[in-house]
Amino acid sequence: MDEGNNYRLQTLLPAVSVGLLTMAFIVAKTGRDALFFQGKGLFQLPMAYMGIGLSSLPAAFLYVQAMKIWGARAARVGIIVFAAAVMAAFVPFLPQMHYSVLLSLFIFIPTIFGPLFATIWLQASELFENAPKAVAARSFSRIGATSLAGGMIGGFLSKGLAPYLEPQWLVFLGALITLIAASAAVKTHRSFPLDAGTKRERKEGQKGGVSIAFSKRYARMLLLISMTGALAGLFIDFQFYAAVSSAQMGSKGNASFFANFYIMLNLGSLILQLFAAPKIQDKLGLRGGLLILPLALLGGATFVTAAATALSRSVLKVTEGGLKSSIHRSIWEQAFISVDSSERSVVKVFVDGIGARIAEGLGATLLFVWLMHIDTSDPTGLNTGWIAWMLLLTAAVWLWLTRNLRLDLVRGSSAAPCSAK
């Protein structure tokens, strides 16, 4: 197999895995949201995010321990199969609409899909670790586009099935698609066996400790950027869900709405990924590309503080979701190629799997305290103006941290010798 065909296969296989996982996530999330946001689901949202933050830490530690025992590749397949099995196990208990079950499902899906997406993107980083920078950039852009296409297909699938299926069956369908993603990951492993067999996996497990990995400034900066971005996303999500809850559409109405929203979001993101992302990275490189999302949110948050309308908040949600899923995602994942291969799995899981969820938990605690001191009987009466100011501050900090990471790359820090443009 020549080098060009090899790179195409290296792109195709992880792209299929990422696309399937994104499809499963959107389908399961549509069913989850349709069930959860009936009644006063909005006011349970801070509690749910606190639960996500608390559960992410032990989940990531268990996953890292599994990598140390069985190796990164076996742990990757194992966690995907585990996620599918647990989602399917929820389905028989969802029709009763018990608060504890709905809350547990709401927490479980993002808690488990965080490590799932992290480990599949790690698979791509592993395959392109020694590839030329231009080849890796193009391949990651295509993998990102496939992810968005998977999300769009998941949205269309949810929309088509919503009138005929209760939302819990969308969760079950998401579990089935997740199982298919596990088989795609196995195919990738078999097509690209590691050099020296399992020696490298053992090396990753033994050397890639948390304290060693995060003793380096580059890894700490990635962690802080991830946490700040997640906090900004939480504030945007809460305002969006507040608007949805006030409409009181019922479970099937909610399912149809969320399906339509995810279709439009992924379609817009896919267009950006296909036509804008490659040109942006060619011109700005990794350093400049990471500045686009925080800059856009800083401008959007400034507009929302000046004109706090439902339309401005919806536009901000679409902007954040569209850029994060397209341009930002593919460039962000390339930042982990510069992390030492023996530490990359640990850094990736803790940055995107733990740090982001802890930040959301802290933000949710703030929202919970606020909701304790206001009248929650009417979602339409919520004054979320202060959230726009918090978002403005968070976006400014995010931009500052990303600029510092950019300076690290420019200086050619020890952790990122080859990721700068």
Question: Looking at the predicted structure, is the pLDDT value of residue 164 above 70?
Answer: yes
**Which amino acid is residue 411, in one-letter code?**
R
Domains of the chain, by residue range, sit at 3-411
Once rounded to an integer, what is the mean pLDDT over residues 123-142? 83
Q: Each residue of 149-159: pLDDT tens digit?
A: 898 899 889 88
- Within 8 A by CB and 6+ apart from 47, the residues are 103, 364, 368
pLDDT bin (cut points 50, 70, 90) of residue 397 is: very high
- Give the count of beta carbons closer than 10 Å to the beta carbon of residue 197: 9
CB under 8 Å, gap of 24 or more: what pairs does 96-99 form?
A: 97/35, 97/38, 99/44
- Within 8 A by CB and 6+ apart from 125, the residues are 333, 336, 337, 344, 348
d(CA 110, CA 363): 16
The pTM for the full model equals: 0.76
d(CA 257, CA 246): 13
Once rounded to an integer, what is the mean pLDDT over residues 293-313? 78
Q: Each residue of 359-381: pLDDT tens digit?
A: 988 898 888 888 887 766 655 55
Contact 245, 37 (CB under 8 A): yes
Contact 153, 44 (CB under 8 A): no
Position 414 scores a pLDDT of: 44
d(CA 236, CA 388): 8
pLDDT bin (cut points 50, 70, 90) of residue 202 is: very low
% the chain with pLDDT above 70: 83
SS3 209: coil
Q: Which residues of 155-193 are buried (b: 16+ CB within 10 A; e: fewer)?
A: bbbbbebbeebbbbebbbbbbebbbbbbebbbebbeebe
d(CA 59, CA 38): 28
User: What backbone torsions phi and psi does residue 330 show, to the nearest 5 degrees?
Assistant: -65, -35
Question: Looking at the predicted structure, is the pLDDT value of residue 113 above 60?
Answer: yes
d(CA 141, CA 127): 15
Once rounded to an integer, what is the mean pLDDT over residues 395-402? 92
d(CA 320, CA 333): 17
d(CA 210, CA 220): 11
| Total residues found in the chain within this entry | 421
Position 377 scores a pLDDT of: 62
Element (H, E) at 223: helix 217-247
Question: Looking at the predicted structure, is the pLDDT value of residue 351 above 70?
Answer: yes
Element (H, E) at 18: helix 3-36
Q: Each residue of 224-268: pLDDT tens digit?
A: 999 999 999 998 888 777 766 665 565 566 667 777 777 777 777
- Within 8 A by CB and 6+ apart from 206, the residues are 68
Q: Which two tokens stand for residue 52?
A: 């996500």
Position 326 scores a pLDDT of: 75
d(CA 270, CA 251): 28
- Give the count of beta carbons closer than 10 Å to the beta carbon of residue 138: 18
**Cα Rg of the chain, angstroms:** 20
Question: Looking at the predicted structure, is the pLDDT value of residue 324 above 90?
Answer: no
Q: What is the domain class of 3-411 according to CATH?
A: mainly alpha
pLDDT bin (cut points 50, 70, 90) of residue 23 is: very high
**Which amino acid is residue 131, in one-letter code?**
A
Q: Write the DSSP symbol of residue 166.
A: -
